[in-house]
Amino acid sequence: MKVKFPTHCPSCEEVLSVTHLQCQHCETVVQGNYPLPIFLKLTPKEQEFILQFFLASGSLKEMAAQQGISYPTVRNQLDDMIQHIKDLKI
C-alpha cells in the first residue's frame, strides 16, 4: 500500500514541519524542527508533473504527446504550478 505523505495539518490545515528523523538501521533518533522542502509541499499531482517534466528533458510538447493532451493544457498546468510555488515561497 502506498502511504500518502502528509504535508498539511489535518486539524488546522497549516503546513507541517519535520520534528523527528530516525535511522532505520541503528534506530538513532534526531529531533529538531525542519521545514518541509518546497517539492514536498506540492500536491502528489504536482510532484508527478515535475518528475514527468524532468524525464521528458523539459519538453512540454513531449509531455503533451505522452499524456495525450495538448501543448496549451500542459503549459497551463506548468504556469499554475509556478504560481503555486511562488505563493508557497511568500
Partner 1 sequence: MKKLLNPIEFYNDRKLLRTNLVIFIIGTLLAIFMKAVFGSPIDLHFEDTLVPTESIVGNIVAILTMTIVLLAAGKIINKKTRFIDCLNLALYIRIPYYILLLWNITGTFSNMKPTSSDDSRVIVDLPTATLDMIILGSFSILAIMVLVLKGIIIYLSFKTITNSKKTSDYLILIVFIIISIIASYIISRYI
CA distance 13 to 7: 9
Q: What is the CA radius of gyration of the chain?
A: 17
The closest alpha carbon to 31, from 46, 43, 17, belongs to: 17
> What is the contact mask toward partner 1 in residues 29 to 68, using x (rule: CB under 8 A)?
-----------------------------------xx--x
Nearer to partner 1, 43 or 73 (CB): 73
User: Least Å distance between CB 59 and partner 1?
Assistant: 14
Give the nearer residue to partner 1 in terms of CB position, either 75 or 84. 75
> Strand, helix or coil at 89?
helix
Residue ranges that bind partner 1, judged by CB under 8 A: 64-65, 68-73, 75-76, 79-80
